[in-house]
């Protein structure tokens, strides 16, 4: 195994990162570097076209979708019209099915949702049949993960817990915070739902607990969160929907040694949350009135005490969440404003 790491660094592959977000640019550049893939970075679709006009060519292009001047869909179309045959992988945040289809039809070879991780990048390379044939994908993944885990165990990422009742708007606001302040969003609920989909041995247990509105044992959720943190190049995370009870809170602190910088608490009346959940329309098994009522009860009995715990430590930043999305974000922004706004809002 030790021999395989230097060999990866000798890869002849080249890549172009096209993204207007500084944090994503850095992260994608570093992930490619880790796999020994030489790469350049440009800030929008027009720059990607320009760099090809100047005669440069790449094996792989990691293309963001929403960018100023020329977006990812337009740039991909233009590159294909120019006869560029590089493999292009779209890498975007929360694209809806329509956008994804349009992006694919513009000439993509592959598509991944952000945040890009080492394993997602490896699966792109695998699917696009890049020449790593002297090694199995397993050995490359092991080598890459070893490196990532090595640095992750030494690093102490900054963590903000994002709490609030079901439907209070946690996920919605997290997407805005990611966009403006460069955090990586980790939703405990999304990680658990992905674990069900992956067919893992815990899948059925998790599915049954979510259907009942119950909280999954900490051990399972913490493992998923730890893995997501370790696999990610970023060093600041929004952990959404966790800790949901005292057991979650104490176990996370014990296992990771991480204390949150602060807790962002979305305070919203039940009637409003109920209305939003019934209209959420994401096909979630737990967004039915019976399970919603159970989730509200669990929130009051188990999650509010966690918020009170952090309140006593002066760590809670309460947001009035029963307002329109933009107004809620104004309040959120004020909490983050001491930090430099690193990423300009996408147009």
Ligand X SMILES: Nc1ncnc2c1ncn2[C@@H]1O[C@H](COP(=O)(O)OP(=O)(O)O)[C@@H](O)[C@H]1O
Ligand Y SMILES: Nc1ccn([C@H]2C[C@H](O)[C@@H](COP(=O)(O)OP(=O)(O)O)O2)c(=O)n1
CA nearest to 191, candidates 298, 261, 115, 251:
115
**Residue 134 CB, nearest distance to ligand X (Å)?**
45
Q: Is the peptide bond before 243 cis (omega within 30 degrees of 0)?
A: yes
Binding test (CB under 6 A) with ligand Y, winner from 248, 263, 310, 332:
248
Is 87:118 a contact under the CB 8 Å cutoff? no
Q: Shortest approach of ligand X to residue 340 CB, angstroms? A: 26
Using the rule CB under 6 A, which residue among 36, 115, 167, 243 binds ligand X? 167
> Is the bond preceding 203 in cis, omega lying within 30 degrees of 0?
no
Q: Is position 283 an interface residue for ligand X (rule: CB under 6 A)?
A: no
If binding is defined by CB under 6 A, does position 194 make contact with ligand X?
Answer: no
Q: Does 213 bind ligand X (CB under 6 A)?
A: no
Question: How far apart are alpha carbons 230 and 302 in whole angstroms?
Answer: 28
Least Å distance, CB 143 to ligand Y, is 32
Task: Answer whether 62's CB lies under 8 Å from 117's CB.
Answer: no
**Residue 345 · residue 20 · CB < 8 Å:** no
User: Closer to ligand Y at the Cβ: 45 or 164?
Assistant: 164
Q: Which one of ligand Y, ligand X, none interacts with residue 242, CB within 5 to 8 A by kind?
A: ligand Y
Q: How far is CA 277 from CA 67, 153, 240, 286, 315, in A?
A: 31, 38, 17, 9, 28
- The answer to whether residue 321 forms part of the interface with ligand Y (CB under 6 A) is no
36 is a contact residue toward ligand X (CB under 6 A): no
**Cβ-proximal residues to 137 (8 Å cutoff; 6+ apart), any chain:** 122, 126
> What is the closest distance, in whole angstroms, from the C-beta atom of residue 315 to ligand Y in the complex?
18
What six digits make up the tokens of 161?
Answer: 């817990």
Pairing between β-strand 262-267 and β-strand 158-164 as defined by DSSP bridges: parallel
Which residue has the CB atom at the shortest distance from ligand Y? Answer: 189
* Residues between 237 and 276 that touch ligand X (CB under 6 A): 276
Nearer to ligand Y, 80 or 211 (CB): 211
Contact 51, 27 (CB under 8 A): no
* Cα 107 from Cα 78, distance rounded (Å): 9
Yes or no: say if 44 and 69 are a contact pair by the CB < 8 Å rule: yes
Q: Contact letters (x/-) for ligand Y, 168-197, by CB under 6 A?
A: --x----------------xxx--x-----
Flag whether 171 is marked binding.
yes
Task: Rule CB under 6 A: choose which of 213, 232, 266, 316 binds ligand Y.
Answer: 213
Is 215 known as a binding-site position?
A: yes
From the list ligand Y, ligand X, none, which binds 34 (C-beta under 5 to 8 Å, kind-based)? none
CB burial of residue 139 (10 Å; 0-12, 13-18, 19+): middle
Indicate the length of the chain as a whole number: 347
DSSP letter at 82?
T
Among 183, 242, 265, 296, binds ligand Y (CB under 6 A): 242
Site for ligand X in 316-335 (CB under 6 A): 323-325, 328
How many amino acids of this chain bind ligand Y (CB under 6 A)?
Answer: 18
Q: Does 241 bind ligand Y (CB under 6 A)?
A: yes
| Chain mean position to CA 340 | 21
Residues found near ligand X in the complex (CB under 6 A): 164, 166-172, 276, 280, 323-325, 328
Known binding site for a ribonucleoside 5'-phosphate: residues? 193, 214-216, 241-244, 284, 295
Residues found near ligand Y in the complex (CB under 6 A): 166-167, 170, 187-189, 192, 210, 213, 215-216, 221, 241-242, 244, 248, 286, 295
């Amino acid at each position: 195994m030790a021999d395989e790491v230097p060999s990866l660094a000798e890869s002849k592959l080249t890549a172009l990162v096209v993204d207007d977000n500084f944090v994503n640019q850095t992260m994608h550049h570093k992930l490619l570097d880790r796999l020994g893939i030489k790469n350049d970075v440009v800030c929008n679709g027009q720059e990607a076209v320009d760099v090809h006009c100047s005669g440069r060519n790449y094996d792989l292009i990691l293309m963001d979708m929403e960018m100023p001047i020329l977006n990812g869909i337009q740039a991909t179309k233009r590159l294909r019209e120019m006869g560029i045959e590089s493999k292009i992988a779209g890498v975007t945040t929360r694209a809806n099915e329509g956008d994804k289809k349009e992006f694919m039809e513009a000439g993509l070879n592959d598509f991944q949702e952000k945040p890009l991780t080492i394993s997602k990048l490896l699966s792109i390379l695998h699917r696009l049949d890049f020449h790593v044939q002297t090694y199995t994908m397993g050995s490359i993944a092991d080598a890459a993960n070893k490196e990532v885990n090595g640095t992750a165990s030494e690093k102490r990422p900054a963590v903000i817990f994002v709490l609030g009742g079901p439907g209070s708007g946690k996920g919605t606001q997290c997407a805005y915070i990611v966009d403006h302040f460069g955090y990586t969003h980790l939703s405990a609920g999304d990680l658990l739902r992905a674990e069900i989909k992956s067919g893992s041995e815990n899948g059925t247990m998790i599915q049954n607990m979510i259907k009942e509105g119950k909280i999954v044992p900490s051990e399972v959720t913490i493992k998923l969160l730890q893995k997501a943190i370790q696999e990610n190049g970023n060093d600041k995370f929004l952990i959404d929907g966790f800790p949901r009870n005292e057991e979650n809170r104490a176990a996370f602190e014990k296992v990771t040694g991480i204390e949150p910088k602060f807790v962002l608490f979305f305070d919203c009346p039940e009637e409003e949350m109920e209305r939003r959940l019934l209209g959420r329309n994401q096909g979630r098994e737990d967004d039915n009135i019976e399970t919603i009522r159970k989730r509200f009860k669990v929130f009051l009995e188990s999650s509010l005490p966690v918020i009170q715990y952090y309140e006593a430590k002066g760590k809670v930043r309460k947001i009035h969440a029963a307002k329109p999305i933009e107004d809620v974000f104004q309040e959120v922004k004020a909490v983050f404003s001491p930090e430099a706004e690193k990423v300009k809002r996408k147009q």
